[in-house]
Amino acid sequence: MKLNFVANDNILVHIAMSALIVLIGALLVKLSNRFFVSRQLADKDNLRTYRTWTVASRNLIGALVFLLLLGMWLSELKSVAISLAAFAAGLLISGKELVMCFLGAFMRMLTRPFQLGDLVEIGQYAGEVVDMDVLTTTLVEVAPTRQFTGFTVQVPNSLLLTTAVRNHSQSGRYTLDTVRIPLPSRCDPDRIEAQLLDIAQQACEPFLEAAGQSLLRYGNTRFLDLSQFAPRVMFEPNGTERLDAIVRFPAPVNGRLAVAQQIIRHFYRLRAGEDNAPGSSDPAANADAGARVDNPARSGTAPSPAS
């Protein structure tokens, strides 16, 4: 099929103008990034706001450049509309993932499941959102220990159509988190619960009131009952020889790791002190000590013969 596309001076002018528009757009993006980076260095308290403006300005400039190019070439494209339609159909079939990325970006724009700076999980990927465009969402990766790994992950927007998104920042500056502590099955749950509640209360005391107000506001907007935001302890059997204590506590979104580590360290430090104390009441330790007394061979020391 022949294309009715004749090269003339008008097309050469359009090519030159297109190149000029692209160069101006790239220059504007660079200047915009430099401007907001300098503002971030001067005002670090509003880092999230400047990051949002940086991405928004870049996407706006890109959209304007695209619209200008489309308007400039629209009259020339009419002559090859049939060929372009066939080409677009073939591209749609072969570029299914690309089309899904555009649809995922459109759905993200409509539903807004997360924003820049939110801590999210998209499928198997978890991290803080630092960039968004029409094809990908860029995360600074967070390991299962809730620490930044130093890597960035570019998640294709097509995943937003097929996988669930977990947003840990949806409730504002504070959220509810849990930490699991394994225990021997032969322990006193009431005593363990009292110890963990006391430790969690001490760890959350500096921000407990502010966290409660933030969670209550979020619950009221979503018709949820989040009045039980204070630390709680639940137990879950894990086999016949292990009992897991699950501590739920409020914490700042960016400070969950510090609070969880404080609870874990304080609890095991307390347990170590109890185990090392004379006359420890740990049933497992007492049972093992009794076994060694009843069977001296287990302790590695044979009884001395009677003189």
Report the pLDDT value the prediction gives residue 67, as an integer from 0 to 100.
86
131 DSSP 8-state letter: E
Report the pLDDT value the prediction gives residue 90, as an integer from 0 to 100.
67
Report the pLDDT value the prediction gives residue 196, as an integer from 0 to 100.
95
Taking phi over 0 as left and psi of -120 to 50 as alpha, with beta for the rest, 117 belongs to: left
User: Are the CB atoms for 116 and 130 separated by under 8 Å?
Assistant: yes
Write b or e for each residue in 7-38: b if 16 or more Cβ atoms lie within 10 A of its Cβ, otherwise e.
eeeeeeeeeeeeeebeeebeebbeebeeebee
Q: What is the mean pLDDT of the chain?
A: 79
In the chain, which residue ranges form alpha helices assigned H by DSSP? 9-42, 47-78, 81-94, 96-111, 159-162, 189-204, 208-221, 256-276, 283-294
User: Residue 117: which residues within 8 A CB-CB, separation 6 or more?
Assistant: 48, 51, 52, 128, 129, 130, 169
Long-range CB contact pairs, 213-216, < 8 A, 24+: 214/171, 214/172, 214/173, 214/174, 215/171, 215/172, 215/174, 215/175, 215/176, 215/250
Average pLDDT value for residue range 191-202: 94
Report the pLDDT value the prediction gives residue 279, as an integer from 0 to 100.
58
Q: Which two tokens stand for residue 55?
A: 């991405």
Nearest to 139 by CA among 108, 147, 109, 151: 151
SS3 state of residue 296:
helix
Average pLDDT value for residue range 198-208: 94
Q: Is the pLDDT of residue 50 over 80?
A: no
Fold of domain 118-167: SH3 type barrels. (2.30.30)
Average pLDDT value for residue range 88-93: 67
Q: Is the pLDDT of residue 123 over 80?
A: yes
Domains 118-167 and 174-276 equal at CATH topology level: no
SS3 state of residue 228:
coil
Sign of CA dihedral 289, 295, 299, 301: positive
Indicate the pTM of the whole model.
Answer: 0.57
Report the pLDDT value the prediction gives residue 261, as an integer from 0 to 100.
92
Report the pLDDT value the prediction gives residue 298, as an integer from 0 to 100.
39
pLDDT tens-digit map of 98-115? 888 989 999 998 888 898
pLDDT tens-digit map of 239-293? 878 899 999 999 988 888 889 999 999 999 998 887 776 655 544 444 444 434 3
User: Residue 204: which residues within 8 A CB-CB, separation 6 or more?
Assistant: 211, 231, 249, 250, 251, 259
Question: What are the structural domain ranges in the chain?
Answer: 14-94, 118-167, 174-276
pLDDT tens-digit map of 19-44? 898 899 889 888 888 887 777 777 76
CATH 3.75.10.10 fits 174-276, yes or no: no
Give me the residue label for tokens 């669930």. Answer: 164
pLDDT tens-digit map of 128-156? 899 998 899 999 998 876 778 889 999 99
Distance from the Cα of residue 66 to its chain's centroid: 32
Give me the residue label for tokens 């907007």. Answer: 221
